[in-house]
A and B are shown apart, each in its own frame.
Chain A
Amino acid sequence: MVIDHDDADDLVQEVFIKVWNNIDKFREDAQLYTWIYRIATNECLSFLAKKKRRFFLPIGDVEGELSSKIDHSAYISGDEIQLKLQKALLKLPNKQRLVFNMKYFDEMKYKDISEITDTSVGALKASYHLAVKKIEEFINQD
């Protein structure tokens, strides 16, 4: 989601520290992994929102910065089509990208994504199919 390895590392650490500090608040009516996922997605979306605010950049520029990292990061390696897919993902709004990653890469069930993101299954399905359409359009360009 955040593309840069150092940012991802910071977020992973923050998430586990939050889990450690708040474990007594964990209600057992949810699965532990759903709860941790929820903390992780909140941290991630907050981080991306802060990044956008911090530099007073419009969405396009944040997308440009992250897209450039896909080309130059030492921790990203893939064939042309895979990198193009990652760049296509950056065209999506953050929450839609999050839903796409959970469904496509993590192969999660809509029901679980619904619990994590607090969004209805119907809305998630619509969001995912719209995302797939946008991504395929982008990949088939040129």
Chain B
Amino acid sequence: MFEIQNITKKYGTRTVLDDVSLSFKTGQITSLVGANGAGKSTLLSIMACFLKQDSGEILFEGKNIKDFKNVEIAKKVASLRQSNSYNIRITVRELVAFGRFPHSKGRLKKEDEAIIDKSLDYMMITSMQHKYIDQLSGGERQRVFIAMILAQDTDHILLDEPLNNLDMKQSSSIMKNLRNIVDETKKTIIIVVHDINCASCYSEEIVALKNGKLVLQASPEKFMREEVIKEIFDVDCKIAAVDGNKICVYHNCEKRADETNIVKHSHGCTECADKPL
């Protein structure tokens, strides 16, 4: 379980995280959202020990994360950063096998191989396991890296924008995979996503940051409201419910908002007044 206490991080004079405190619940998907530069990736990087905070503490299972040994923490938390370089010549299976490194120290036993097989199977990449990484498409490569994280077999998984540059089919299938993992194994996944609808449809909780400050931590049900979205992302939108999922429509919304505005001012009708723009 992650607990963030008064984390502050500055890049030069710019404050990226400003005294952020929150705790993440276990056994669910939590989405970190916010506009560009809101500090969500920075927060995740600090939790994954990729970056050092200027002040504040990260507690993991009630203990300061700094007090854990690197290998110990690698058996409990697996993290994947936004873009991964792949300039080494390595096959899919070999890369996924790296996930076993904290447990096996590079000497793979039978049970390690079994877990690797399972992870490959789970991300549906068993058929391409002997291909080289540089022969794959962006979506396939992302699946391979997630399979590596799964092979690490940790209770906590931190993912920084795993859906970057992926098409609809790829990103929805990856999210469905993650959802299944949490439902079946009760793992905890904390994920930075850009797409608010993706956060709404697949996660139990949404954490929103704005200008380095925590704005809201709520369930998608409570989160997906027009005034909340306006506050966090500074866009006008409409919320719709489709099959129990709340969807936010924010494209080409300002125009409609303006039209409503005109109606409201010309008639002063009460119907519009209680509808926030």
A interacts with B: no
